[in-house]
Structure 1
Amino acid sequence: MKQRDTFSIQRLALVGMMAAMVFALTYVGIDIPTGLGKTKIHFGNVMCLLSALLLGPVGGGLAAGVGSALFDLMDPMWAPECWITFINKFVMAFVAGGIMHKAGFLAPQVRVWVAALCGSLSYSILYLGKNVLESLYVKGFTWQVTQVEVLATKAPVTLFNGVVAVICAALLYTALTPALRKANVLHA
């Protein structure tokens, strides 16, 4: 995309639309109650990664961060951490979008999968790291309780969400890109 098109009305509308998709698809999932809180299998990360692949690091990061933070604001349990969610999801999409739009040495199909995988891994590391620190230093749990809370409960769900997000986002990107280019919505 040309530099002058970076902040166009069309681009802002696309960021807003993708943020709305992130928000809506985060509702589509299954809550998993645990003895120490809850976790969730959801499809919001699919849209976070798709936003990054389509809109690049900044546009995708804003869509992923805003949509996810708004979702957190709707639940009193997660609302206080909406700013952390914004940062984590922004980084997820920023990494994926950066690789997608800057790693031209990779074949296009390989680049899609590598970008989605790296974005998903970056989010998983940030999310699980935040939960370990919170468990140890905010909740005051021992390392043994933290292992159960984070590593046994949240890690499998986070990794499952990540795998589903990578597969679905890469397939959706591959399916949607030709039509979006033909409609002159996606450039390059």
Structure 2
Amino acid sequence: MQRTSNLRKLVFTGLFAAIIFIGISMLRIPLPALVGKPFIHFGNTLMVLAILFLGGGYGFVASAIGLGGFDLLNGYAATSWLTVLECAVMAIVVSSLFKAFKGAKRPLSVGQIITISVTAGVTKVITSYLVSIVEALMVGTSFKVAIVASFLSLTSAAINAVSTAIVVPILYLALRGAFKNRV
């Protein structure tokens, strides 16, 4: 029984990794920025869903493979390690909130899912800002300029955060019945 459960989690981890990769590859809208080459995409939304359905560990692996793999294959290889770190932070934040709300072993309420989604969006903006600073420093920008330029480059992160806060509750509530006894 335990072996079947682990196999299911591995299969769903691979499935989520593929969905995240495809979600970024198929729909992305590049935006101009002072630091990096940001774009609007649904990878973060799908990452949060993976963490909610698979848990922090397997959700992290799925998002690291999906988002990190995209970076490696699409011209972002030098900063793919930063993407994986963002995935780790997001897995810790989202799974911690999920566990805090799930303490009574009841289904999460709409308000709790919205809280998790908004927190994930805010976390993404913060991690994107920090990643942009590191990216700017990697190319030789001074620290003060990196801080300002990174702040001015947060447009796509903010849009991605808003889409995460809106789309995650909708998809989670629509799909949680399907995942209830599967993972």
TM-score of the alignment, normalized to the shorter chain, above 0.5? yes
Q: Mark the runs of 5 or more structure 2 residues left unpaired by the alignment.
A: none
Match of 2:116 in 1: 115
CA offsets 1:82-110 (integer angstroms, 9 cap, x no match): 12211212321331122113323695222
Match of 2:136 in 1: 135
Q: Mark the runs of 5 or more structure 1 residues left unpaired by the alignment.
A: none
Match of 2:173 in 1: 174
Change (3 A) 1:166 1:142: same
- Is the Cα–Cα contact under 8 Å of residues 72 and 82 in structure 1 kept in the other structure? yes
CA drift at 1:126: 1.8
What is the rounded CA distance, in whole Å, between the counterparts of 1:37 and 1:70 in structure 2? 18
CA drift at 1:38: 2.0
Between 1 and 2, higher relative CO (CA 8 Å, sep ≥ 6) is seen in 2
Which structure shows the higher strand fraction?
Answer: 1
**Once the two structures are aligned, what percentage of the paired residues are identical?**
25
Match of 1:150 in 2: 150
Match of 1:62 in 2: 61
Change (3 A) 1:85 1:142: closer
Task: Give the 3-state SS of the residue equivalent to 2:110 in structure 1.
Answer: helix
What is the rounded CA distance, in whole Å, between the counterparts of 1:9 and 1:177 in structure 2? 19
CA drift at 1:146: 4.5
Match of 1:97 in 2: 95
Give the counterpart letter for 2:169 in structure 1. Answer: A
- Is the Cα–Cα contact under 8 Å of residues 121 and 164 in structure 2 kept in the other structure? yes
CA drift at 1:163: 1.1
Give the counterpart letter for 2:93 in structure 1. Answer: V
- Is the Cα–Cα contact under 8 Å of residues 68 and 86 in structure 1 kept in the other structure? yes
What is the rounded CA distance, in whole Å, between the counterparts of 1:85 and 1:15 in structure 2? 18
Task: Give the 3-state SS of the residue equivalent to 1:95 in structure 2.
Answer: helix
What is the rounded CA distance, in whole Å, between the counterparts of 1:111 and 1:97 in structure 2? 13
Change (3 A) 1:5 1:165: farther
Number of equivalent positions: 179
- Is the Cα–Cα contact under 8 Å of residues 23 and 41 in structure 2 kept in the other structure? yes
CA drift at 1:65: 1.4
- Is the Cα–Cα contact under 8 Å of residues 55 and 97 in structure 1 kept in the other structure? no
Task: Give the 3-state SS of the residue equivalent to 1:140 in structure 2.
Answer: coil
CA drift at 1:167: 1.2
Give the counterpart letter for 1:114 in structure 2. Answer: T
Instruction: Tell me how large the CA RMSD over aligned residues is.
Output: 2.5
